[in-house]
Structure 1
């Protein structure tokens, strides 16, 4: 096999603002794996929160290339699971899934997985003044969105949620704090948010402090994101969260994501499938888990100025193959 990793940068349609700052570009790594006449494609988005960069991920992939190139695609996929989880492993794992399907004269994810023809996905409202966030929500509602993911930091939380709810009264709303609610009275805040019919709150505290959640009443379900990468973290999260967010860039690919989903359900967790910013190449790889998830947040391509050719289609709050 011949493995190649290249950087790929895409301008966002509009600036994307979360609690950690604003972004104007999506920086990804594209991987191609050639085996005979067949070529598999994968993509990852390195995340600085986890100590990753485009350069570090490409270096990591290159350090594995000699060993993996000497193997068959199936053996390489098995060997890859012994490598550290993260964006580099994800791009390779997903490229191998795609390659193996093509050598079988198939198109991933068919026929290995049955995927719903239309999957509801969250549309992301990034941080701004309450009025600006309300306008984002209205825009999505006009396009038929039924699920909104509202990004928040530690300021104007209730005011922003109230504005979004007024702007989109019929949408399901989930909140994403990205670890930004340290120092707040969470029990009081959760009670303040109850009237706004919030379906779930994602990662209110930093992962190093989320043990505090086990002693805090939370009438709104909580979802672990930064606190959960692979199956290794599951057991310690049971008293803190009701849901986990599976992202392939955290699990190190679809192979681990499928095992994580199975074990999490056995432990009683509900499943959310999320994404970093990325193209339809990355979103397609997550569909085998997303098709069964309670909440799906795979709107990465919607936020980009340009998606890959023959990408997923987004309309009326759903994604379509």
Structure 2
């Protein structure tokens, strides 16, 4: 009999306000909390599946159910997990769900580091315990409501503003009426052509915009390459970078990659990607879906090696059931001295 016990729980996380991007609106998300127990220690992980990548909580559950009881018994190093999880999915004819893989690895890493009596960041020799400042996301809405959202989040030094609509210029002008703080723009694939994107970027450059995330659909690689040559602002890959794309090609179209655990499926894989991306001159952003402090704490550990952070998912929900990553007065991410990921029940 395996000494490990894997359990999971589907959880609905309600948002403080409806969250709208160019693809739609949500008022709650259905995530999956994973717990891995052995030797009196329990590690926790979280899956935040996203429909953009054809994932949902039911697919995560099916993936977890396919894992045999003995799966964890022969794992001694985290580098083994990602490949073995894919093998299990193939053997059981179950789709390999990236967010589910991320949750399982997260739980194992939390368990492993707790068992070693160390914080994970310390085992990984992190250069610091203080990450970048996180941005705070302003979802699409009526302009006066978006203005109010900015004012309600006045303690944050950087905003990420969702665009990709026919009224983007009016939105930016409206937000600039209430704040002069730096803004990062995320179009979520919402602009239709190189011409439209290039024109919008020139407009944004005149309004103290720091960078532009995913201006065109990920399927339009050649257009993205052309746009980078014309762009006066740095471009960040989100939907264009899931995790297995050629970083050499990504570097032709973008200046920054947004690594999200729910896309890439693995903290250890993300660390390897960060190392390779830096050699190619790419900067790193660590982002998130709508997540609790479980997944956002895992993201914060990765952000210790990053240039930018967009880890506000746990701030956008009404009742975060966990606590882990902290923010200092300047909204820099601070990881915990607790063992494992540093996550505890609230």
Q: TM-score range by the shorter chain?
A: over 0.9
TM-score, length-normalised on structure 1?
0.92
Matched ranges for 1:35-50 at <5 A:
35-50=38-53
Question: For residue 248 of structure 1, what is the aligned residue in structure 2?
Answer: 261
Give the distance between the partners of 2:265 and 2:70, measured in 1 at CA. 18
Question: For residue 105 of structure 1, what is the aligned residue in structure 2?
Answer: 117
How far off is 1:111 after superposition?
4.1
How far off is 1:316 after superposition?
4.4
Report if the CA contact (8 A) 2:5-2:69 is conserved. Answer: no
How far off is 1:76 after superposition?
6.8
Question: For residue 279 of structure 1, what is the aligned residue in structure 2?
Answer: 292
Gap regions ≥5 residues in structure 2: 87-95, 336-346
Question: For residue 129 of structure 2, what is the aligned residue in structure 1?
Answer: 116
CA 295–313 in structure 1, closer or farther in 2 if over 3 Å, else same: same
Report if the CA contact (8 A) 1:113-1:288 is conserved. Answer: no
1:157 to 154, 168, 171: 168
Question: For residue 339 of structure 2, what is the aligned residue in structure 1?
Answer: none
Matched ranges for 1:202-281 at <5 A:
202-216=213-227, 217-281=230-294
Matched ranges for 1:1-321 at <5 A:
1-66=4-69, 68-72=71-75, 74-75=76-77, 78-82=80-84, 83=86, 84=96, 86-114=98-126, 115-117=128-130, 119-141=132-154, 143=155, 145-169=156-180, 171-183=181-193, 185-216=196-227, 217-314=230-327, 316-321=330-335
Give the distance between the partners of 1:301 and 1:122, measured in 2 at CA. 12
Give the distance between the partners of 1:113 and 1:15, measured in 2 at CA. 39
Report if the CA contact (8 A) 2:59-2:97 is conserved. Answer: no
How far off is 1:71 after superposition?
2.4
| Segments ≥4 residues shifted beyond 6 Å | none
Give the distance between the partners of 1:307 and 1:99, measured in 2 at CA. 21
**Range 309-318 or range 266-275, more displaced:** 309-318
How far off is 1:311 after superposition?
3.4
How far off is 1:51 after superposition?
0.7
How far off is 1:53 after superposition?
0.7
| Number of aligned positions between the proteins | 317
**Range 259-268 or range 106-115, more displaced:** 106-115
Report if the CA contact (8 A) 1:249-1:276 is conserved. Answer: yes
Give the distance between the partners of 2:33 and 2:151, measured in 1 at CA. 34
Give the distance between the partners of 2:245 and 2:64, measured in 1 at CA. 23
Report if the CA contact (8 A) 1:43-1:91 is conserved. Answer: yes
Measured on the aligned residues, the alpha-carbon RMSD in Å equals 1.9
Report if the CA contact (8 A) 1:109-1:285 is conserved. Answer: no
Report if the CA contact (8 A) 1:3-1:65 is conserved. Answer: no
SS of the residue aligned with 1:60? helix
Report if the CA contact (8 A) 1:231-1:260 is conserved. Answer: no
CA displacement 1:145-168 (0-9 Å, x = unmatched): 111000112221111112222311
Give the distance between the partners of 2:301 and 2:223, measured in 1 at CA. 33
Give the distance between the partners of 1:118 and 1:223, measured in 2 at CA. 19
CA displacement 1:287-313 (0-9 Å, x = unmatched): 232123221000111101011243333
TM-score, length-normalised on structure 2?
0.86
Gap regions ≥5 residues in structure 1: none
Give the distance between the partners of 2:298 and 2:222, measured in 1 at CA. 32
